[in-house]
Amino acid sequence: MAPAAIEARFGLGLPFKLLLSLTDRCNCRCTHCGIWKRRHGDELTPQEIDSLLSNWKGLKWVDLTGGEPTMRPDVLELADIVTAHSKGWSFLHFATNGLRPKVAVDFAQKLAQPVGPSVVVTVSIDGPRELHDSMRGVKGAFDLAIETAGSLQQIPGVEVYIGTTVTGSNIDHLEETQAAIGSAMPGFRVQDWHINLMTRSKHFFGNMDLKPLSKDQVTTAIATVLKLRPTTLKPFSIIERLFLQNLLLYTKTGKAPVPCEALRASIFVGPTGDVYPCHILGPNLGNLRDFGMDIAGLLGNSKGRLKQDCNDCWTPCEAYPTMFFHPLVTVVSGLKSLR
């Protein structure tokens, strides 16, 4: 991934990371996200996604998200398209709410190829059983997510993480959440538990009406998670700890601790082909269909760049590639957060 990242850093290549939302369809009714309230539009077809990936030189890292990716009726066809292009990639990830265990397992099995990248799946669990079901608006959601995670763990070449989105509803229940997951899922390790703060976005989450978390709430939540997470030498564990430490610094200062590299390192593509610098910030840079699914043509034609009044954020989708761009700054700022 390093050569592609260096090219992107100096403006010589395309972003090396793609966050691709496959659909706005969702079978959850989450209180912290409004994607499920939308009608799904004219989604990119498998053939269009094939063209997009074919035209993307230097692509190394792909995140597939939604909505709920497994809700697309052609999701297994999409898996075939993705794997046809993934041999030179370093990282392939998708997120799922776990409500469709069999489809999620079939999707992961198709993505996990012997000559392809590591496949990482994040299964969302936001609280103990009753709280999770309430936040997701679906009775039985917790048990289905646990079933999905357990089944995914049996697939060779697939790494499974549990993802918790911290909101006002569960911020005081993080220790209970960790304990509930551990009790329901044998072999669960706290270092495989990923924490993300609820963020607001008009064009992705559609949740601008929600009140953001307070500094005190966030600081307490991060301290709780850092206390629960053991320190290991596993690469993801190190990266996650640095992410959390920098999140703590961001919370204290209100400014991203590492210069954001959205648009240079990473980019967001919505279900109908609209392109944004990231999943939080505009402007809309254009639609890929107007450029024959050629991302280079769209970016070369667009005058859109990150707004000067960017309100800064520190979310994994953009923070991780940014950390990869600036490893030394990431470590130094992470250490500052502990003072």
Domain ranges of the chain: 2-211+260-317
Give the residues of the chain that fall short of pLDDT 50: 303-304, 306-309
**What's the sign of the alpha-carbon dihedral 68, 71, 72, 76?**
positive
Beta strands in 216-310 (DSSP E): 266-269, 274-276, 286-287
Alpha-carbon gap, residue 245 to 239, rounded angstroms:
10
Among the listed residues 263, 257, 258, the one whose alpha carbon sits nearest the alpha carbon of residue 282: 263
What region, left, alpha or beta, does residue 74 occupy, with left being phi > 0 and alpha being psi -120 to 50 degrees? alpha
pLDDT of residue 10: 66
Residue with tokens 């809309």: 284
Q: How many CB atoms lie within 10 A of CB 126?
A: 28
For the chain, give the longest Cα–Cα distance. 53
pLDDT of residue 295: 95
Q: Under 8 Å CB-to-CB from 146, ≥6 apart: which residues? A: 98, 125, 181, 184, 185
β-sheet bridge partners, residue 195: 164
Residues recorded for the chain: 339
> Which tokens belong to 285?
């840079």
Residue with tokens 């669960």: 188
Q: How many CB atoms lie within 10 A of CB 228?
A: 16
Among the listed residues 261, 287, 329, the one whose alpha carbon sits nearest the alpha carbon of residue 4: 261
pLDDT of residue 56: 93
pTM: 0.92
> Which tokens belong to 131?
């709280």
β-sheet bridge partners, residue 161: 122
pLDDT of residue 254: 83
Among the listed residues 224, 104, 190, the one whose alpha carbon sits nearest the alpha carbon of residue 154: 104
Q: Cα dist. 105→38, 123, 160, 251, 255 in Å?
A: 26, 12, 11, 37, 39
pLDDT of residue 311: 59
Q: Under 8 Å CB-to-CB from 14, ≥6 apart: which residues? A: 8, 56, 57, 58, 59, 295, 296, 299
Say if domain 2-211+260-317 classifies as CATH 1.20.1730.10: no
> Which tokens belong to 272?
């109908």
pLDDT of residue 327: 86
Q: How many CB atoms lie within 10 A of CB 338?
A: 9
Would you say 78 and 46 are in contact if contact means Cβ atoms under 8 Å apart?
yes
pLDDT of residue 195: 86
- 3 state DSSP class of 40: coil
